[in-house]
Amino acid sequence: MTRPLLEITDLEVRYPSAGYIARLRGAPAHVTVLPDISLAIDTGQTVGLIGESGSGKTTLGRAAMGLAPITAGSVRVDDITVTSQDAPEWRQIRLRTAMMFQDAVASLDPRMTLGTSVTEPLAIQGAMNGRRRDRAVELLDLVGLTPDFADRYPHQISGGQARRVTVARALALEPSLVIADEPTAGLDLSVQGELLNLLNDLQARLGVSFLLITHNLAVARHVTDRIAIMYLGRIVEEATSEQIFRAPAHPYTRALIGAKDATGGEGLIAGDVPSLTDRPTGCEFRTRCPLATDLCAQKAPALETIGAGHVASCHYARPQEMPVATPDPLTDRSEI
Amino acid sequence: MADSTVSPPVAVRAERFGVLRRLFGAPLGAIAAIVVMAFALAAIAAPWLAPYDPNAIAPVNRMQGPSGAHWLGTDQLGRDLLSRIIHGTRTALYVAFAGTGGALAVGMAMGMAAGLGGKVLDSVLVLFNDSIKALPLVLFALALVTIYGASMVTLISVIAVSMAPGYFRVVRNQVMVLNNADFIVAAQSMGASRLRLAVTHMLPNLIGPILVLIAMDIPAVIGIESGLSFLGQGIQPPQSSWGNMLAEGYTYVRQAPHIAVAAGLPIVVSTIAFTFLGEALRDALDPRSGGRS
């Protein structure tokens, strides 16, 4: 069996919190966003990272690119392993990975033309061969944008077009891994579909792996091979997308799928997400779990294998067929 | 798919000159810009524009009122006031640009270092700049003049040092905001070095607020130069400066009030013009002030 392309092992991310004064008053010195997390992505695979706001999925994505303070554990891409945020090896990792940010327009320098922005990775890594403008036009063409976009500024284009520009920029160095944070956020359904098809298409042509961070289950279902469900900075269930949607094991996953959208907007998961500085004892989901018992308050469940390639952390986890197949809004256009 | 490949009717060229268009679209901004340009032209072309040698003494003509030969009259030594004012413009703007330029260079370098460097460096630089800011300007200027003697170099140094904290603060705060901007983090994720972040991403996004600050600072600098020259601690005679002309005019204000008026007028007009230009520039550079889609 070959090694995965990206391997995150026992990673801990802690942010220093509050100032000196607040700390004197007893505020905690650190906020642990990711206590201990492991994740692997194979070459050419798309892994979805799903959870509510504040579950740490964006932080995990950033940590994988050295953009978050790593206090323990390691990140490995190909044969490069790093264990801290300021390691010089990040430069090599960044040559092989690229990131797409949640807010596409804000991730483009407002004073730079799109052509300059798109070719910036090439300039930074000293990989510009040929004239900059020609490379820009090539990259824009890859995502279906005409050459005249090279001379425009970010505020002159639409959200969907900005998204395409960030895809083009992410692909500039022909990376083996792209971390996409909410790539469909703020796009209407038809543009979402277009973008996902574009990503699928590029993956088939270029063999890129994707780490897709999203709270939109329909999007995850549409494009991912595997899905990891996050809660309070931990992975509570991980399996193939098919398994997750057909037979979710963790009560949180089941609630999410019932709610369809992990924002919890439809109110199917009762209660609020607990504070990161005041985590519940035992199982951290017990405060909102319909199955919680005394055991859950005393003992934290470990991630256990409950099926082929299917892990979950719950004392009562067992794969359970979902009663009704939830309609997929991206393929089922009858309601629109 | 189709709609994203069709170019929307955005006039890229017009957008590029949008700031200038908006600047000249506001009547006050347009007038201020024209006045400032007139001063700049006078400063650049002083030797050709001035009808007489500004330092040519002609005791026969002393303290004459405005006439066809001397449009603004002559001073107590019979020198042509118009020529002296035109050359004084050169002095004023030279000091203003050299002073703000020095302040900008020093303040910006410190601001960038504070914003991009560590917490300790930041604290040290903030303390340093706040200390300078706390010094009363005139006291500081007089101290430097006492040590180094009154000269244009001393004057420019005083201005550069005392104005630098203003630029430091603006640059530092702006860099701190930009540090967390998505496009900066994106550049970091591509492996950009700190130097690259500072030069290619931060600087272009800092230009707007800095330009406004410069336009607002220039009238203050003109005031400092005139003030110190008036006190005899700035530009030394016979070199003409609005400030030392005003001081001379003040001495003879009973016999020949036109000298003080001729010297005071450009100080007032240039200060007002630069202030209005600064305000118009601020409005024109603010994307929220309309004009953009």
Q: DSSP string covering chain B, please? A: -HHHHSPP---HHHHHTHHHHHHHHSHHHHHHHHHHHHHHHHHHTHHHH-SS-TT---GGGTT--S-SSSTT-B-TT--BHHHHHHHHHHHHHHHHHHHHHHHHHHHHHHHHHHHHS-HHHHHHHHHHHHHHHHS-HHHHHHHHHHHH-SSHHHHHHHHHHHHHHHHHHHHHHHHHHHHTSHHHHHHHHTT--HHHIIIIIIHHHHHHHHHHHHHHHHHHHHHHHHHHHHTTSSSPTTS--HHHHHHHHHHTTTT-HHHHHHHHHHHHHHHHHHHHHHHHHHHHH-GGGSS--
Q: How far is CA A202 from the centre of its chain?
A: 18
pLDDT at A19: 67
Of B7, B8, B190, which is closest to A120 when you measure between CB atoms? B190
What is the distance between the alpha carbons of residues A133 and B47, in angstroms, rounded to a whole number? 47
State whether B183 and A91 contact (CB < 8 Å). Answer: no
Strand partners, B241: none
Identify the residue with better confidence: A293 or A163: A163
Domain ranges of chain B: 17-58+68-289
pLDDT at A325 over 80: no
DSSP 8-class letter at A261: B
State whether B8 and A156 contact (CB < 8 Å). Answer: yes
Identify the residue with better confidence: A333 or A55: A55
| Averaged confidence pLDDT in chain B | 85
pLDDT at B109: 92
pLDDT digits (tens, 9 = 90+) for B55-71: 888 888 888 888 888 88
B248/chain A closest Cα distance in angstroms: 50
A237/chain B closest Cα distance in angstroms: 28
pLDDT, average across residues A202-220 = 89
**Is B292 an 8 Å CB contact of chain A?**
yes
Share of chain B above pLDDT 70, in %: 91
Of A95, A125, A145, which is closest to B4 when you measure between CB atoms? A145
pLDDT at A60: 94
Task: List the A310-312 sheet strands across, edge first.
Answer: A97-100, A177-181, A209-214, A46-50, A226-231, A234-240, A310-312, A304-307
ipTM of the complex: 0.84
Task: Find the range with the poorest average confidence among A38-47, B7-16, B118-127.
Answer: B7-16
pLDDT at B41: 94
pLDDT at A136: 93
Give the largest Cα separation in chain B, rounded: 85
Q: Which residues contact A173 (CB under 8 A, 6 or more apart)?
A: A95, A96, A98, A121, A122, A125, A127
CATH classification for the domain delimited by B17-58+68-289, as one of 3.60.20.10, 1.10.3720.10, 3.40.50.12160, 3.40.50.10090: 1.10.3720.10
Lookup: tokens for A301: 């469940």
pLDDT digits (tens, 9 = 90+) for B131-179: 999 988 888 888 989 999 888 899 999 999 999 999 999 999 999 999 8
Residue A149 with chain B: CB contacts under 8 Å: 7
Band (B28; pLDDT cuts 50, 70, 90): confident
**Is B190 an 8 Å CB contact of chain A?**
yes
Q: Collect all residues from A whose CB is shorter than 8 A from any CB in B.
A: 65, 67, 90-91, 94-95, 98-99, 101-103, 106-112, 120-121, 124-125, 144-146, 148-149, 151-153, 155-158, 160-161, 164, 194
pLDDT at B193: 87
Q: Is B223 exposed, middle or buried (0-12, 13-18, 19+ CB in 10 A)?
A: middle
pLDDT digits (tens, 9 = 90+) for A278-305: 888 888 888 888 888 888 888 888 888 8
Domain architecture of chain A: domains with CATH: 6-335 (3.40.50.300)
Classify A264 in phi/psi space as left (phi over 0), alpha (psi -120 to 50) or beta: left
Contact indicator for A235, A228 with CB cutoff of 8 Å: yes
Most confidently modeled of B71-75, B163-167, B284-288? Answer: B163-167
pLDDT at A322: 61
pLDDT at A180: 93
